Amino acid sequence: MENTSVQYDAEKYPNFKEYLWFKDHEEELMRRYYGRFVVIKDEKIWGDFGTWRLAWTNARKLHEPGTYIIQQCIERDPRWAPRLIGHKFTFVEEK
């Protein structure tokens, strides 16, 4: 499989790299945290919680909004993946 990198506007979407990290580690995270809500900051798991509200409440106490994401570890239909409507991303293949 070829490595692919994504270029995005880091000023507009500073936490998009956390989502990309989640997708890269999704299989491992599903095994470890299935059904839980994980808080991801700086490409690391900061905590896992049973509800979204609990994850959000704890994350906002210590971190600035927009610097982390909360992701539930469940299998999803790809049609419901997060999208940034109206913004174009460029995929670049690495050799």
Please report whether residue 74 resides in a domain: yes
Q: Is the pTM of this model over 0.75?
A: no
Q: List the one residue out of 68, 19, 25, 64 whose CA is nearest residue 47.
A: 68
Q: Give the DSSP per-residue string, 20-82.
A: HHHHHTHHHHHHHHTT-EEEEETTEEEEEESSHHHHHHHHHHHS-TTSEEEEE-S---GGGS-
Per residue in 57-87, pLDDT tens?
A: 999 998 888 788 999 998 876 666 655 555 5
Please report whether residue 55 resides in a domain: yes
Please report whether residue 85 resides in a domain: no
Question: How much is the pLDDT for 81?
Answer: 61
Please report whether residue 70 resides in a domain: yes
Please report whether residue 44 resides in a domain: yes
Residues spanned by the domain of 61: 15-78
Question: How much is the pLDDT for 39?
Answer: 95
Domain count, the chain: 1
